[in-house]
């Protein structure tokens, strides 16, 4: 009986060793043959992901939406607009440095009280992203926002003019500006749809779809 058991053990060990040697002999070529249509695997670029539509984007794994960039005032308003989505820990933010920005301002004013008065008039009309700025040599201006493109800045300037606030100036600024991107991980279809709606309400903001940024 012991001899029979010993023979069975030897037979199993021999079969195992033969299988391992056969796999090794195949090498990389053998493993490639076992792949299922490897030529059909494609990596999507962010624009291609965005073109998939809310439903397909929501079905992807480890995909993030980035929305922005926003100034500090815009960020507060944008986060408030997202509260109804109850994103919780899925919502985060990151700071980015923006170069080649354009400044929209009203003025100059010959005194700070005059600039503050125009500032208050703008805020009374619901325009929150404004501040009084000392431009030097006894003159002041009301900053009406920083924009990444000249087109977005001119749109803001024209809007202020139509509201009766006078001619706004658009000037390029050499220094970079730190702003905020809002990030949502693995968004549901309703979240993607809402983000696309909100983007239209924030001039100069962009939506980016892609792999979630790694934690630093």
> pLDDT tens across 47-96, in order?
555 555 555 555 555 788 999 988 887 888 899 999 999 999 999 999 99
Global pTM value: 0.55
What does the pLDDT read at residue 99? 84
May I ask the CATH architecture of the domain 101-173?
A: 2-Layer Sandwich (3.30)
Residue 13 DSSP SS3: helix
Q: Which helix (H) or strand (E) holds 149?
A: none
DSSP string, 48-68: HHHTT-HHHHHHSSSEEEEEE
> pLDDT tens across 97-112, in order?
888 889 999 999 999 9
Nearest 5°: the CA angle 87, 91, 95 is: 160
Q: Of 206, 201, 214, 207, whose CA–CA distance to 49 is shortest?
A: 207
May I ask the CATH architecture of the domain 46-98+177-211?
A: 2-Layer Sandwich (3.30)
CA atoms in the 13 A half-sphere facing the CB of 99: 0
**Once rounded to an integer, what is the mean pLDDT over residues 148-177?**
88
CB-count exposure of residue 54 (10 Å: 0-12, 13-18, 19+):
middle
> Is 210:49 a contact under the CB 8 Å cutoff?
yes
Q: Between the CA atoms of 10, 16, 19 and 25, what dihedral angle is there, to the nearest 10 degrees? A: -90
């Amino acid at each position: 009986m012991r001899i029979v058991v010993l023979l069975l053990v030897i037979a199993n060990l021999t079969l195992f060793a033969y299988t391992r040697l056969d796999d090794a002999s195949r090498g990389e070529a053998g493993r490639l043959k076992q792949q299922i249509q490897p030529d059909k695997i494609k990596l999507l670029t962010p624009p291609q992901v965005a073109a998939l539509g809310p439903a397909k984007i929501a079905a992807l794994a480890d995909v993030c939406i980035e929305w922005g960039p926003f100034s500090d005032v815009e960020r507060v308003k944008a986060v408030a607009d997202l509260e109804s989505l109850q994103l919780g820990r899925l919502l985060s933010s990151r700071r980015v440095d923006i170069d080649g920005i354009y400044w929209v301002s009203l003025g100059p004013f010959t005194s700070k009280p005059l600039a503050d008065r125009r500032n208050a008039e703008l805020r009374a009309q619901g325009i929150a992203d404004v501040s009084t700025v000392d431009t030097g040599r006894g003159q002041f201006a009301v900053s009406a926002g920083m924009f990444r493109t000249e087109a977005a800045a001119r749109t803001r300037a024209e809007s202020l003019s139509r509201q009766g606030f006078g001619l706004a100036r658009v000037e390029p600024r050499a220094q970079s500006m730190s702003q905020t991107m809002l990030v949502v991980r693995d968004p549901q279809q309703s979240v993607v749809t809402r983000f696309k709606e909100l983007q239209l309400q924030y001039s100069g903001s962009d939506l980016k779809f892609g792999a979630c940024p790694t934690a630093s």
